[in-house]
Structure 1
Amino acid sequence: MTDQTGQTGQTRRTWWRAAGTAAVVAAALTATVTPSVAAPAETRPAPVTAADVDYDTWQRDCRAVMAAALPYLKERIADSAPGEKQAIVLDIDNTSLETDFGFSYPQPANRPVLEAAEYAQEHGVALFFVTARPGIIEAPTGWNLAHAGYESSGLHVRGFLDLFRDVAEYKTEQRAEIEAKGYTIIANIGNSATDLSGGHAERTFKLPDYDGQLS
């Protein structure tokens, strides 16, 4: 995701990441990859290129954040008001899915986040995914989320004009739209300030991005 500072550089990184994702998806579809032959989710990813962050460190730090989030979620879900439609909003890249550690398709779930999402799913909480990914890869992204174990109630991707908007503004607008459908967003989980700023969530939980080293 992009940060609120350094917008031009981060926008360029978003375009490159989108192009890379589209290329992998195209290759996967051309080869008619099925889940039975896709890259296994349990394969150990390599460290982040050109960064001093390895997979084990990232997972440890993600698990620490989600260890604080899960007790809150359990308490808030149990305290649901009659008729309340609870929802959690999640970012995708390096939040719901492992993106920068061993790029592959399908991308494996970020386990600490998936574990919290599974608890929420089992207790009737809707999961909405709000991402800066472009709409051209909406279908393979949705399939990837389902393959990783997420039950999506809605996937919000950027249309063409959204690609030229401030990412934080776009994501805030998507959360407002979810609320307009009658949902109470009890948690918003992401790894960038652009994922979490702008309100429209009772609580936010920030995963590590190591000063922008992770997308």
Structure 2
Amino acid sequence: MPLARPSRRSLALAAAAATLGATFYGVGAATADNSVPRSDKEIPNLTDVVNDIKAYYGDTVVGGEHYASADSSYARQLAGIEAKAKKDLAHGLKHARHGKKPAIVLDVDDTSVLTYNYELEVGFNYTPASNQAYLDTKDMPPVFGMDSLTNWAASQGVTVFWITGRPEAQRADTVRNLTAVGYKSAPDTAHLYLKNTANPPAYLACGATCTTIEYKSGTRAHIESLGYDIIGNFGDQYSDLSGGHADKSFKLPNPMYFLP
């Protein structure tokens, strides 16, 4: 998901409630395509959009914590994407590039684990401090079906990698969370890449100044250089998927925010 999730994030406001996430608007800012609304009528009501997001996720509150529902529109949409992905991965396994080891790459937030409860707790206003405080005390649940799909791929001989914009300082939290919620592949230092601005890896020419696309596509290129064929790349943001270095890309739904 995010490239260390910058403090100035955009809440994704759907232009039409029936197609959540189709168009994104920033809170108190210009729209995602940099055009400035000329009237309030061009901006969806924020309260209505948040209610639409809750309905889409099938908001369920237990002990003060918000959970997405397994029979929600969100879960059903995911199931359709994952069913297609499984077929494509099975095909990719049969047609992996000669001499290359098949691999998949996953983003972490809202691709592997769901940030829904955190987003509601902070009113969709991410800050590094609030995010770290949350991870200090809680695990995020798996995105519906992604743990099963990932574990299935691993059982077929696919190597699993994660590339996340979380900072290197959150490595232990990330490893704990992925392991605790059922991801069987080891998110160790060889398979989990986090953003390291203090000591960026030599294979990223952009160093500490990489955009999300540069960081993620450059890391995928590095994985390829290690002898892997990335047969599937999964992310909830288009910036997780852009830049090539994957045979197939799979966009997961996320109407909560937009990250370039």
TM-score, normalised on structure 2? 0.60
- Indicate conservation of the 8 Å contact 1:100/1:214, yes or no: no
1:65-104 aligned within 5 A: 65-80=81-96, 83-101=99-117
- Indicate conservation of the 8 Å contact 2:96/2:231, yes or no: no
1:80-159 aligned within 5 A: 80=96, 83-101=99-117, 105-150=138-183, 151=185, 152=187, 154-159=191-196
Q: Shift in Å at residue 167 of structure 1?
A: 1.0
Structure 2 equivalent of residue 59 of structure 1: 75
Structure 2 stretches lacking a partner, 5+ long: 10-48, 58-67, 120-133, 199-206
Structure 2 equivalent of residue 195 of structure 1: 240
Query: Of the candidates 231, 248, 251, which is equivalent to residue 206 of structure 1?
Result: 251
Distance 1:137 1:211 in 2: 22
Q: Shift in Å at residue 214 of structure 1?
A: 9.1
Distance 1:80 1:132 in 2: 28
- Indicate conservation of the 8 Å contact 1:51/1:213, yes or no: no
Distance 1:176 1:202 in 2: 12
Q: Shift in Å at residue 168 of structure 1?
A: 1.1
Find the residue that maps to 2:179 and give its secondary structure.
Answer: helix
More helix, by proportion: 1
1:214–1:112 distance in 2 versus 1, CA, 3 Å: farther
Distance 1:178 1:213 in 2: 26
- Indicate conservation of the 8 Å contact 1:70/1:116, yes or no: yes
TM-score, normalised on structure 1? 0.72
Structure 1 stretches lacking a partner, 5+ long: 4-9, 15-48
1:199–1:78 distance in 2 versus 1, CA, 3 Å: same
1:75–1:63 distance in 2 versus 1, CA, 3 Å: same
Q: Shift in Å at residue 195 of structure 1?
A: 0.2
Distance 1:95 1:75 in 2: 22
- Indicate conservation of the 8 Å contact 1:106/1:144, yes or no: yes
Q: Please, which moves more after superposition, 85-94 or 165-174?
A: 165-174
The number of residue pairs the alignment matches comes to 175
Find the residue that maps to 1:12 and give its secondary structure.
Answer: coil
Find the residue that maps to 1:198 and give its secondary structure.
Answer: coil
Deviations 1:49-72 (A, max 9, x none): 935222322222211211211111
